[in-house]
């Protein structure tokens, strides 16, 4: 038996390998009372996920890391099938008039699949957050206290046209001892179906429960609605996508939600900023991958800065449309064209080669603009003034604040988290890139020798 072999190799804890005799078998329509009943179908999936979560909670690091490496290998071995499925989704997206930004998010390539596999290997090399002691002490009465990280349990995710998220969330869920239920959207249906099959097969190959990764895509939008209402079956729900999707989940969900936010990201170009650095950072932050949430959407330029013409020229040369206020247009050379900006531009997450540009007279004015229009994702300042940098850090209230670097670094992989479920813009439990630790909660362990409370 595979579980016994893994135990003998030291890859399972002593109490971990045995199958739970009460755990239901694989999902079939016959298992679901009224197979056409969406609510019954989604609830059955959630119940299987909760059974699998009990086994995942017993898995030690070596077992989980073996699972991550098995998934990484399977993605590369079955790459052709995944790319073929993705090609169908991309072709359908083009036929339906999907925007270039969304098509970029939807598309998998050989390099992107290799990147997903590499991210899983990186996760395997990271410390296991489960069992980490947050704090502990021995009380005067002899009681020994520990607060330790433990898995959330059943983590659900609803997201749009991002097949890479399917792998990211599955990998993070596995490493943190959770099970995941995925709703990846119609636009990526074929790709996600192929990926979930690969993930489940890889988990089974190393003795982990296949039901640690499940999808409700087969139940469509109503399946997502049922998932949002599955209180008691789902421990936490994470939406990832555009504003409409996120607000729909936040407004309608009855299960606990960790809100990830849209990225109306700002860069403030201070008067002291170096021209060469400013050009390089702005090009990276706007043009490297415009369709993602850490791309800059608004540039605020200090009126005393002399580098605006160089920055604007470099952006226009890369095809960026500048949406400018009157003062910026007056300061630009006649050879650099732009379009007039409106209040809608200051509020827009373009996710494309568009950039809103405004002129401000002070750091205070820049911070005021950011507080008015920011979604709380990421803001950056480019400056050689240490005092201004420190004020910007202290006064800007966003999940990530960056000094003299590209906003593209607000990313779990770039910040050493291995991967991320999303960028949380709320302030409860998790904020910023959500990696392994953010997918755990804590448990108090109290050990005594017969003490009673006086």
pLDDT tens digits along 145-162:
999 999 999 999 999 888
User: CA 160, CA 122: separation in Å to the nearest integer?
Assistant: 25
Asked whether residue 166 carries a pLDDT value surpassing 80, the answer given is: yes
Token pair recorded at residue 354? 């568009």
Mean of pLDDT values over 223-251: 90
Mean of pLDDT values over 269-290: 96
pLDDT for the residue numbered 29 = 39
431, 124 contact by CB (below 8 A): no
Q: Where in the chain is the domain with CATH 3.40.309.10?
A: 265-404
Q: 98-131: b or e for each residue (b if 16 or more CB lie within 10 Å)?
A: beebbbbbbbbeeeebeebbebbbbbbebebbbe
Block residue for tokens 């960028």: 423
pLDDT for the residue numbered 246 = 84
285, 318 contact by CB (below 8 A): no
In this structure, what is the dihedral angle of CA atoms 285, 289, 293, 299, given to the nearest 10 degrees? 30
Mean of pLDDT values over 209-227: 95
Share of the chain above pLDDT 70, in %: 92
> Which H or E run includes 53?
helix 38-57
> Which H or E run includes 133?
strand 133-138
Number of H helices, E strands in the chain: 16, 16
User: CA 254, CA 297: separation in Å to the nearest integer?
Assistant: 33
Mean of pLDDT values over 258-265: 84
Per residue in 287-339, pLDDT tens?
A: 999 988 899 999 999 999 999 999 999 999 999 999 999 999 999 998 999 99
Per residue in 343-364, pLDDT tens?
A: 999 999 998 999 999 999 999 9
- Is this prediction's pTM over 0.75? yes
DSSP bridge partners of 231:
234
> Which H or E run includes 450?
none
Radius of gyration of the chain (CA): 24
* Distances 11 to 208, 250, 372 between C-alpha atoms, Å: 11, 39, 52
pLDDT band at 430 (very low <50, low <70, confident <90, very high): confident
> Which H or E run includes 331?
helix 326-331
267 Cβ contact partners less than 8 Å away, ≥ 6 residues apart:
281, 282, 285, 296, 298, 299, 300, 379, 380, 381, 382, 407
Block residue for tokens 């959630």: 46
Mean of pLDDT values over 181-191: 94
Q: Where in the chain is the domain with CATH 3.40.605.10?
A: 2-260+435-444
Angle 405-409-411 (CA atoms, 0-180°, nearest 5)? 165
pLDDT for the residue numbered 36 = 59
Share of the chain above pLDDT 90, in %: 77
Cα 368 off chain centre by: 28
pLDDT for the residue numbered 303 = 97
Mean of pLDDT values over 215-234: 95
DSSP secondary structure string for all residues of 267-300: EEE-TT--HHHHHHHHHHHHHS-TTSTTSEEEEE
197 Cβ contact partners less than 8 Å away, ≥ 6 residues apart:
none
pLDDT band at 242 (very low <50, low <70, confident <90, very high): confident
- Tell me the CATH number for domain 2-260+435-444: 3.40.605.10
352, 228 contact by CB (below 8 A): no
148 Cβ contact partners less than 8 Å away, ≥ 6 residues apart:
131, 132, 133, 134, 442, 443, 445
251 Cβ contact partners less than 8 Å away, ≥ 6 residues apart:
none
Half-sphere exposure of 305 (CA within 13 A, CB side): 35
Mean of pLDDT values over 50-61: 95
User: CA 16, CA 209: separation in Å to the nearest integer?
Assistant: 12
User: CA 317, CA 292: separation in Å to the nearest integer?
Assistant: 21
163, 184 contact by CB (below 8 A): yes
392 Cβ contact partners less than 8 Å away, ≥ 6 residues apart:
268, 363, 367, 379, 381, 383, 401, 403
pLDDT band at 244 (very low <50, low <70, confident <90, very high): confident
CATH of the structural domain 265-404, one choice from 3.10.440.10, 3.30.1490.20, 3.40.309.10, 3.40.1190.20: 3.40.309.10
435, 414 contact by CB (below 8 A): no
pLDDT for the residue numbered 20 = 43
147, 442 contact by CB (below 8 A): yes
3-class SS of residue 262: coil
Per residue in 2-37, pLDDT tens?
A: 444 443 344 444 344 334 433 344 444 334 444 458
């Amino acid at each position: 038996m595979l579980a016994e072999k893994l135990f003998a190799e030291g890859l399972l804890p002593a109490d971990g390998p045995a199958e739970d005799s009460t755990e239901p078998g694989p999902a079939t329509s016959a298992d679901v009372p009224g197979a056409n009943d969406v609510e019954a179908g989604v609830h059955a999936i959630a119940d299987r996920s909760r059974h699998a979560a009990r086994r995942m909670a017993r898995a030690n690091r070596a077992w989980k890391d073996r699972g991550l490496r098995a998934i990484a290998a399977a993605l590369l071995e079955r790459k052709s099938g995944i790319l073929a499925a993705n090609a169908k989704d991309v072709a359908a997206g083009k036929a339906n008039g999907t925007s270039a930004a969304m098509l970029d998010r939807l598309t998998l390539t050989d390099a992107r699949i290799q990147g997903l596999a590499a991210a899983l290997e990186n996760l395997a090399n990271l410390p296991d957050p489960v069992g980490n002691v947050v704090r502990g002490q021995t009380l005067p009465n002899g009681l020994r206290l520990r607060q330790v990280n433990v898995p959330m349990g059943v983590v659900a995710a609803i997201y749009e046209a991002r097949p890479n998220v399917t792998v990211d969330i599955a990998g993070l869920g596995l490493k943190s001892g959770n099970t995941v239920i995925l709703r990846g959207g119609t636009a990526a249906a074929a790709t996600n179906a192929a990926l979930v099959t690969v993930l489940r097969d890889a988990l089974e190959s190393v003795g982990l429960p296949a039901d640690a990764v499940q999808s409700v895509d087969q139940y469509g939008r109503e399946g997502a609605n049922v998932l949002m209402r599955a209180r008691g079956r789902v421990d936490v729900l994470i939406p990832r996508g555009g504003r409409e999707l996120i607000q729909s989940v936040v407004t309608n969900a009855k299960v606990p939600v960790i809100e990830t936010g849209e990225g109306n990201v700002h860069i403030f170009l201070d008067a002291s900023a170096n021209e060469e650095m400013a050009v390089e950072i702005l090009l990276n932050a706007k043009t490297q991958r415009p369709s993602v949430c850490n791309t800059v959407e608004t540039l605020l330029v200090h009126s005393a800065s002399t580098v605006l013409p160089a920055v604007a020229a470099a952006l226009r040369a890369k095809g960026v449309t500048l949406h400018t206020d009157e003062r910026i247009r007056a300061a630009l050379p006649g050879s650099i064209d732009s379009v007039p900006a409106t209040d809608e531009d200051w509020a827009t997450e373009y996710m494309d080669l568009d950039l809103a540009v405004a002129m401000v007279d002070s750091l205070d004015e820049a911070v005021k603009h950011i507080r008015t229009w920011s979604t709380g994702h990421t803001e950056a300042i480019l400056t050689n003034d240490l005092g201004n940098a420190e004020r910007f850090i202290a006064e800007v209230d966003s999940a990530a604040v960056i000094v003299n670097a590209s906003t593209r670094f607000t990313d779990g992989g770039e910040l050493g988290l291995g991967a991320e479920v999303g960028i949380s813009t709320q302030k409860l439990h998790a904020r910023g890139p959500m990696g392994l630790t953010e997918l755990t909660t804590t448990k108090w362990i109290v050990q005594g020798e017969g003490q009673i409370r006086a």
